[in-house]
């Protein structure tokens, strides 16, 4: 991983452990087993999947073997969940996009980081809202992300009354970045990190910084407070747990150590890492050591 990427995921772990008042082992005993999905099919009641980088990528790109995984789980009658840090639209739209790629997740099976915003707002104590006279934010992200804000009664404006910036992707021009910095330097400023992913894989096999990296640069430059939604933070796992049958044994399948694998630990799930997409195979051992995080399995496509 990139050095900043490691720093970001290390910070996430520190924040989680501080907020949950716990710390502990995040690695299985011994070397993680290298498995295929068929090897672990009977070990779990529920299979949670990351989306981008694990099942599919931008457009209509689907990773080899992903549809076969999904079909095998459907035929076996397993509980399946899409647990994604995509905050670019409402869960209904995200489920429809996955369906168009060949993964028929229902809305009830889709849990996104963006969907946590509404509950967070409703849970704020009286007088504890970061918003003043109206719910306005400066927004950086894909155009459809305004649907997530609108669902919460939030308007995306150029210069919000309250110093709040919401970020769901890294689609910031230099001018947008400068405007976000100006807002976040105001007293009481708050950065809403709707998608904490720091780096993401591209279809061509390269990797690129995304919203989590952008947010970290904004935070460091302005010293603002930040609120994080999605993996690896506890809120999304609480929502996932609430959708599963009581006592269901679950595994999280993803491509990122700092969000999917560590997040599974936070949830109390086992984890399976797809190596070589968002976690370079040549850097795996060093990254695991630096982050102190290791999956239960390495999942072969």
With the CA atoms of 140, 146, 151 and 153 taken in that order, what torsion angle do they form, in degrees rounded to the nearest 10?
70
Dist. CA 19–CA 271, nearest whole Å: 22
pLDDT at 127 over 80: no
pLDDT at 28 over 90: no
At the topology level, CATH places domain 130-228 in: Rossmann fold (3.40.50)
Other Cβ atoms within 10 Å of 27 Cβ, number: 17
Higher-pLDDT residue of 29 and 161 is 161
Phi and psi based region of residue 102 (left: phi greater than 0; alpha: psi -120 to 50; beta: remaining): left
Mean pLDDT of 136-158: 96
Residue 128: the pLDDT is: 72
- ω into 199 cis (within 30 of 0): no
CA atoms within 13 A on the CB side of 244: 26
pLDDT at 22 over 70: no
Other Cβ atoms within 10 Å of 63 Cβ, number: 18
Residue 25: the pLDDT is: 59
Mean pLDDT of 205-214: 97
Residue 23: the pLDDT is: 52
Helix (H, G, I), strand (E, B) or coil at 236: helix
List the chain domain ranges.
36-114+232-299, 130-228
Reported as a single tens digit per residue, the pLDDT across 273-299 is 999 999 999 999 999 999 999 999 999
Binned at pLDDT 50, 70 and 90, residue 44 comes out as very high
Q: What is the 3-state secondary structure (H, E, C) of 148-184?
A: HHHHCCCEECCCCCCCEEEECCCCCCHHHHHHHHHHH
Q: Which two tokens stand for residue 198?
A: 């720091």
Main-chain dihedrals φ then ψ at residue 178, nearest 5 degrees:
-65, -40
Average pLDDT taken over every residue of the chain:
95
Kindly report the length of the chain.
301
Binned at pLDDT 50, 70 and 90, residue 124 comes out as confident
Other Cβ atoms within 10 Å of 168 Cβ, number: 29
Class of domain 36-114+232-299: alpha beta
Reported as a single tens digit per residue, the pLDDT across 218-265 is 999 999 999 999 999 999 999 999 999 999 999 999 999 999 999 999
Task: Tell how strand 270-273 and strand 250-254 pair up.
Answer: parallel
**DSSP-H helix ranges across 46-165:** 66-75, 91-100, 116-122, 146-151
pLDDT at 46 over 60: yes
pTM of this structure: 0.95
Identical fold between 36-114+232-299 and 130-228: yes
Range among 27-41, 124-138, 240-254 rated most confident: 240-254
- Return the residue matching tokens 């709707």: 194
Mean pLDDT of 58-76: 96
Dist. CA 6–CA 11, nearest whole Å: 8
């Amino acid at each position: 991983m990139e050095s900043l990427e490691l720093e970001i995921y290390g910070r996430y772990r520190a924040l989680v452990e501080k907020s949950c008042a716990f710390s502990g082992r995040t690695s299985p005993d011994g070397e993680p087993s290298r498995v295929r999905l068929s090897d672990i099919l009977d070990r779990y009641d529920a299979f949670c999947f990351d989306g981008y980088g694990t099942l599919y990528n931008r457009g209509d790109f689907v990773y080899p073997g992903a549809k076969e995984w999904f079909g095998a789980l459907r035929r076996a009658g397993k509980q399946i969940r899409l647990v994604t840090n995509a905050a670019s639209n409402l869960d209904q739209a995200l489920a429809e996009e996955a369906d168009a790629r060949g993964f028929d997740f229902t809305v009830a099976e889709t849990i996104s980081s963006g969907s946590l915003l509404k509950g967070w707002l409703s849970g704020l104590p009286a007088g504890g809202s970061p918003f003043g006279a109206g719910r306005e934010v400066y927004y950086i992200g894909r155009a459809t992300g305004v649907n997530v804000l609108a669902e919460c009664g939030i308007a995306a404006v150029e210069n919000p009354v309250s110093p709040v910036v919401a970020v769901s992707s890294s689609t910031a021009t230099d001018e947008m970045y400068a405007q976000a910095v100006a807002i976040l330097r105001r007293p009481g400023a708050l950065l809403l990190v709707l998608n904490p992913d720091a780096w993401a894989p591209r279809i061509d096999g390269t990797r690129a910084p995304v919203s989590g990296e952008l947010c970290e640069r904004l935070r460091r430059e302005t010293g603002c407070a930040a609120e994080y939604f999605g993996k690896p933070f506890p809120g999304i796992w609480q929502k996932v747990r609430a959708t599963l049958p009581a006592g269901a044994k679950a595994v999280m399948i993803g491509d990122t150590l700092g969000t999917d694998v560590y997040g599974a630990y936070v949830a109390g799930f086992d984890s399976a890492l797809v190596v070589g997409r968002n976690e370079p195979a040549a850097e795996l051992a060093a990254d695991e050591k630096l982050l102190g995080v290791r999956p239960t399995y390495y999942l072969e496509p």
